[in-house]
Structure 1
Amino acid sequence: MEIRIGIINAPREVSFESSESASDIEKTVGLALETGSMVVKLTDSKGKVFLIPTASIAYVEIGSDQSRRVGFVG
């Protein structure tokens, strides 16, 4: 699952792969924003932890659960 998080006033986005489902990530980010938490904590597929300040989040893009196709589409 590819995750992209846009940060306010930052030229680049935070992008990483996660082994969590799209619904789990959506719940985690949504709960952090609703409760007024200072940071949202996400973990990538390699075990790295990302602490992102909720006040700085511009957008969150969650990729689909489908794997990418390999080869040519005809």
Structure 2
Amino acid sequence: MEIKIGVRSVHREIIVETELSADEVEQELRNSLAADRGVFSVTDVKGRRVIVPVSALGFVEIGGDESRPVGFGGTL
């Protein structure tokens, strides 16, 4: 699952590949937003943790759970 995190006043997105489902990511985000002075935290597939204060979040884009095929499609 790919997650794109936009941080206020930062021109580049943070892109995280995680093993969490879309529902799990959304629940983590909801919990973070509900907490006073909360932080949004997610761990990537390599075990690295990304932590962003919710006050700095611009957006969080959650990708689909389905895997995309690799290679060239189509017929000749």
Segments ≥4 residues shifted beyond 6 Å: none
**One-letter code of the match for 1:72?**
G
Aligned to 2:44: 44
Q: CA RMSD in A?
A: 1.3
Q: Give percent identity, aligned residues only.
A: 35
Number of equivalenced pairs: 74
Q: Which has the larger radius of gyration?
A: 2
TM normalised by structure 1 equals 0.90
After TM superposition, give the deviation of residue 34 of structure 1 in Å.
Answer: 1.6
Point out where structure 2 has 5 or more consecutive residues left out of the alignment: none
| Cα separation, partners in 2 of 1:52 and 1:73, compared to 1, 3 Å | farther
State the one-letter code of the partner of 2:9. N
TM-score (norm 2): 0.88
Q: Which residue of 2 aligns with 1:67?
A: 67
Distance in 2 (alpha carbons) for counterparts of 1:37 and 1:28: 14
* Matched-pair contact (CA < 8 Å) for 2:42–2:51: yes
Contact 2:37 2:55 in 1 (8 A): no
Unaligned ranges ≥5, structure 1: none
